[in-house]
Every structure is written in C-alpha cells, then in structure tokens.
Amino acid sequence: MFKILYDHPSRKFNQLNIAGDFTGWKITPMKKDPKNQDRWEIQINEADLPQGINKVHFKFIDDNGNWFTDEEYPKEVDEHDNENNVKMLIKEKEKESGNNSISNEGDTVIDEELDDEGPVSPAPSLNANNTTSTNYNDDDGNDTEIQKNVLEKESVQDDDDSNNSKNLEDSPDIDESTATPPASSDSNAVIKNEETDAYRGILATIIAFFARLFSAPFG
C-alpha cells in the first residue's frame, strides 16, 4: 500500500478528486486525513496495479472539474502532450525496505550485545562429590586447573579431619584408676636380681646333688 497526498492548507476544497492510470483515469474522490483536515489522501494497493509497474501518473480535479498538477510531485508529458504528476513506486519500496532493515539491524545489535556478555560462570562448589565435575568457563585453562586442585586438597583435608574426629569419638574411655603405669628402671632392676638369685639357687642344688652322688661309693 502507498499513499498520494495533497497537502496545501491555503487551497480549500469541498471535495478533491484524483484520476490516474491506477484508476483507469476515472475520477475518484480523495479523503481528508482524520488528523489534518487540510490534507487530502488516497491509498493505492500495489496488488491492483499491472505487474512490473514502477511508477504511476495522475492529476487532481477541483470542485469545478478543473484538472491540475501539484508542484510537490515530479511531472511527465504523455504521448498526448498532457502534463501529469508522477509518483515513483521504487522509492516507496526502498523506504519500506530501509525501515525493515533498520529494525532488523537494531535487533541484531541487541543480540550481539547480549552475546558479548558471555555465559555467566557458575559459582565454585566446595562439595567433594561435585569438585571434579565442576566446569569453569575461564579463558585460561591453567587457572581452572589450579582452582580444581585447591578444591580437591581442601576436600581431602576435610575428609581427614572428619575421620580423625570419628576415631576419637569411637575410642573407649580409659579409667585412670585401673590403668597400669609403665615399669620404671628400678622395678626392672629388682626383677632382674630376683631372677639371678633363682638361677644361683638352682645351680647350687645341682652341684650339691652331683657332689653327693660321687662321694657316696667312697664313704
């Protein structure tokens, strides 16, 4: 759809008409713009025009039936030496295409700005079960590896502390009153002397036995 406008507030019409090759040169009434009563307009559907048409020719007709042209539009002289206004449809199509292009470019710029922000990196988790499976979106792979190693060491240390605490809780209570203290060096010496005296007594008994045994036949 495109419009042909007549916008000259100084010229007043009860009814302004138009005729052109898009109407078969039949006089057709124009309508006042609801927002501006001094402006007249007519809408033309391009689908009603012959295929391949890139411009239309027209003239305005006043209340007295006089045909005239508007200085706001280009003019062409036809084969009958009639001067008519011309409206180029290619420019209208370029305007519509330009508006759509600007709209699409605006959407593209917004999308690119969103893409430049990049994905949000997840917060590192200290959970031992998730430490090795956590992925970081860092540009530097070394930083990611260092962070993972630190988290693994912290996890192992937490496990050791937990196991030590558990072992202390499971250990039975020791009654200090019944516990046997370690033997001192003096106690060890007494025990050793007692054993030596016992060996000597046994040795003396054996010697006395053999002495009686050998002395008996000669007595």
Both structure tokens of 143: 């930083």
Pairing of β 83-88 and β 75-77: antiparallel
- CATH 3.30.70.1560 at 2-94, yes or no: no
Beta bridge partners of 36: 33
Both structure tokens of 156: 């192992």
**What radius of gyration, in Å, describes the C-alpha atoms of the chain?**
58
What residue ranges do the domains of the chain occupy? 2-94, 128-166
Pairing of β 28-29 and β 55-61: unpaired
What confidence tier does 29 reach under pLDDT thresholds 50, 70, 90?
Answer: very high
Average pLDDT over residues 194-215: 82
Q: Tens of pLDDT along 54-79?
A: 999 999 999 999 999 999 999 999 99
pLDDT greater than 70 at residue 215: yes
What confidence tier does 1 reach under pLDDT thresholds 50, 70, 90?
Answer: confident
CA distance 82 to 76: 8
pTM: 0.44
CA distance 44 to 5: 11
Q: Read off the amino acid at residue 35.
A: K
CA distance 159 to 153: 10
CA distance 18 to 65: 10
- pLDDT at res. 19: 97
Please report where in the chains the tokens 């998730």 appear, as a residue: 130
Please report where in the chains the tokens 């027209």 appear, as a residue: 58
Q: Tens of pLDDT along 79-105?
A: 999 999 999 987 555 555 555 545 555
Q: Tens of pLDDT along 108-119?
A: 545 555 555 555
Cβ-contact 59, 20 below 8 angstroms: yes
**CA atoms 173, 175, 176, 178: torsion sign:** negative
Cβ-contact 76, 84 below 8 angstroms: yes
